[in-house]
Amino acid sequence: MSDLAEVEVVWYDCCVKSCLAFTGEHADLDHCVLCDEPRKDAHGKSCWCFGYIPLIPHLKGLYESEHMANLMLYCHNFKASTTSISDVFNANGYHQLLDRKVKVDGYKHDVALSVFVDTYTVFCRNHCGPSATLILIKNLNLPPKLHILSENILPLGLIPGKPKDLGSYLHPYQEELVDLAHGVETYCAKCGLNITLHAYSHLTEGDICAIEAVLNLMGTSSFSPCRCCEIKEPRDLSLTRSPYYYPLRQPQQNEDECQHHGCSSPHKWMHMFENIVPNLILLWKGKFKGIHGDYEIDTDIWEQIGHETVNAIKDIPSAFVLYYYHACGLKNIMFTSIKFTITRVEIENLRKSIIKWVHEYERLYFHYDPKRLPVCTLTVHIIVHLPDNILFCGPSWSTWTFWGERFCGLLQTQVSSHLAPFANLTNCLIYAAYVTQY
């Protein structure tokens, strides 16, 4: 099958604890530099291996299929609007890349890629069990309705556990990107000619922890945790646990700093709001890190609201109306930011709405009291970067990661070996690569 599909897996030695792969600058090491575990056993056999599924044969196979080669022209045929953003191809980040000095021939066959990284638990029913880190590629040249389908997602490999040096596992992918930047000769069934294929990695997707690992950031609970700006944290050292406070930044500072930071790795819409909304509920219940205020709703009223959801508004105490309207402001922000097509005017209005909402949040819940610093979480800060993420990377729907989360869920249903789950899952990815090769 490997010969027919023209896909040959490349095996790399890695640390037995999955700290790093022996690639790049680690290629000649005999021991892991992070845990000092040996690379090989007493018999000279590798203690642990990572299987990398090459990307180039996948891309060449797409152009060898006339049907897929025609679909791959979505990027070339995309008509960008100057007043609105409806995909990654009319966002600022993509157009900045088009304006670079390097120009290549056969540009309509250039491929834009997005890499996804996520760590998930291998077994559905054992959340404390073994985990694996999955590396996937999304082909942005395909139409949006197609590039998120499982059969069009390109898996690069599965790392046992959570690596400490993720970059060493991504090194083979980066080497392929160098080859693709120079150009790879392949046959195009649509043209009936040999073409020079170029491909470039445009976006990096994943949850907050995954992107921090890709960018080598300390991230959450660090002195400078945001990957889009250089915000520094003040904290109250008199508290037992010193929480971090992430205040509002000025828009111009964000715009200037984003030229030098990881804006090609946008914050994910789902992960942003799935933290903010539950935290608001906990504040209203008086169960958020021991912080209390006049906005709390009694338990009896919560139960009544639960039974009468449809008519809940009339049961909300009048003293809570201010907090209710503030929550409605968050709802409006969510609805605007998730539009399939959003105009640049709407983005600027969204920016003003977010700044107003964060100011109100600080006034209502923080009270500018150092002892209430825990309410100022990182997710409340990164919502300020949402308009810039949309301008630079495209609408929120174009960079959300449900397709990668779904792929992880599919792998959970396919694992059939409890003794060797990682080898089992790697084989699943390899055979899927064989079958889906066009």
Which amino acid, 149? Answer: L
Tell me 266's DSSP state.
P
Distance of CA 199 to the CA centre of its chain: 20
Q: How many CB atoms lie within 10 A of CB 313?
A: 9
DSSP labels for 4-19?
HHT---EEEEB-TTSS
What residue segments make up the domains of the chain, in order of their start?
2-206+402-436, 233-396
DSSP labels for 368-400?
T-GGGGGGS-HHHHHGGGHHHHHHHH--HHHH-
Closest listed residue to residue 402, CA positions, set 148, 231, 226, 208: 148
Burial of 188-209, coded b for 16+ CB within 10 Å and e otherwise, reads bbbeeeebebbbebbbbbbbbe
Which amino acid, 348? Answer: E
Q: How many helices (H) and strands (E) does the chain have?
A: 18, 10
Apex 74 CA angle, 70 and 77, nearest 5: 105
| Global pTM value | 0.82
35 sits in the region (left: phi over 0; alpha: psi -120 to 50; else beta) called alpha
Using the structure block, give the residue that is written with the tokens 């039974």: 307
Express the helix, strand and coil content of the chain in percent, nearest 5 each. Answer: 45, 15, 40
In a structure prediction context, what are the per-residue pLDDT tens digits for the chain, which is 438 residues long? 666 777 889 999 999 999 999 999 999 999 999 999 999 998 889 999 999 999 999 999 999 999 999 999 999 899 888 899 999 999 988 888 877 765 544 478 899 999 999 999 998 776 778 899 999 999 999 999 999 999 999 999 999 999 999 999 999 999 999 999 999 999 999 888 999 999 999 999 988 888 888 888 776 767 777 777 777 766 555 655 555 555 554 444 444 554 445 466 666 666 677 777 788 888 888 888 778 887 788 888 877 777 775 565 666 666 677 888 898 899 999 999 999 999 999 999 999 999 999 999 989 888 888 778 778 888 888 888 899 999 999 999 988 888 999 999 999 988 888 888 999 999 999 888 888 776
First-residue to last-residue Cα distance in the chain = 13
d(CA 155, CA 55): 8
Say whether 148 sits in a helix, a strand or coil: coil
Q: How many CB atoms lie within 10 A of CB 83?
A: 8
Q: What's the confidence (pLDDT) of residue 246?
A: 53
β-pairing verdict for 10-13 and 154-160: unpaired
